[in-house]
Amino acid sequence: MGNSFKITFIAYLVFILQWIIFLTCKKIYKGNKVDKKPCVILFWHGRLALMPFAFRYFRQKDKKAYVMISHHRDGEQIAKIIKLFGLDTVRGSTSKGASGALRSAFKVLDKNDDIVITPDGPRGPYHSISDGAVLLAQKKNVKIRLLNYEAKRFWKFKSWDKMILPKPFTSLVYSLSDPLDISNLNKEQAKQFLLNCFNNIEKMDNFKE
């Protein structure tokens, strides 16, 4: 009971902090909103801090986005915070114990909803694409879209994912790529293609000093 209260309390504190930072920032959005077709959306684990706001902007009102959250000890906390933003979750990982998570993700796509994955989560390697993210898109024959944000001023954590937390009153750029087709690529080709696309988005969105 005590631990559950603590998790909920921290979740609300983080939720309020996220809103305070977000509301003070100048926002720029690039890319079209998701369409009515189901897709797999990928973003880096290190961009988790203010990413829920991207879904508020890019999502379809009649379509759900399910974020895949691992069973790692931090996962329950993250799931609580994401729920406060009105997002649904699928528990599991595409890298460890993937079979159950993938089955749940298949069901999400079958309902015409979107599945959201941090392909380098929950523990890295940093900016790597998991096999499961590629397998999921290819098995269900759906497109992949890449989601990212960059901040002009931010704090960077000394964590494996190099998490950034934008500073209040800074500028943010949110980007959602066009749908990417990896159906004709093998696993390694698909992973390299997605990495290249991520790198291109980051270069375009980075603020020049």
Region 97-115: mean pLDDT is: 87
Say whether pLDDT at 205 is over 70: yes
Question: Mean pLDDT for the chain?
Answer: 91
Q: At 98, is the pLDDT very low, low, confident or very high (cuts 50, 70, 90)? A: low
| Alpha carbon distance 190, 146 (integer Å) | 13
Q: Which domain holds residue 92?
A: 2-205
102 neighbors 94 (Cβ within 8 angstroms): yes
Q: What is the pLDDT of residues 19-64, one digit of tens each?
A: 999 999 999 999 999 999 999 999 999 999 999 999 989 998 889 9
Helix/strand/coil (H/E/C) assignment for every residue in the chain:
CHHHHHHHHHHHHHHHHHHHHHHHCEEEEECCCCCCCCEEEECCHHHCCCCHHHHHHHCCCCCCEEEEECCCCCHHHHHHHHHHCCCEEEECCCCCCHHHHHHHHHHHHHCCCEEEECCCCCCCCCCCCCHHHHHHHHHCCCEEEEEEEEECCEEECCCCCCCEEECCCCEEEEEECCCECCCCCCHHHHHHHHHHHHHHHHHHHCCCC
pTM to 2 decimal places: 0.93
Domain total of the chain: 1
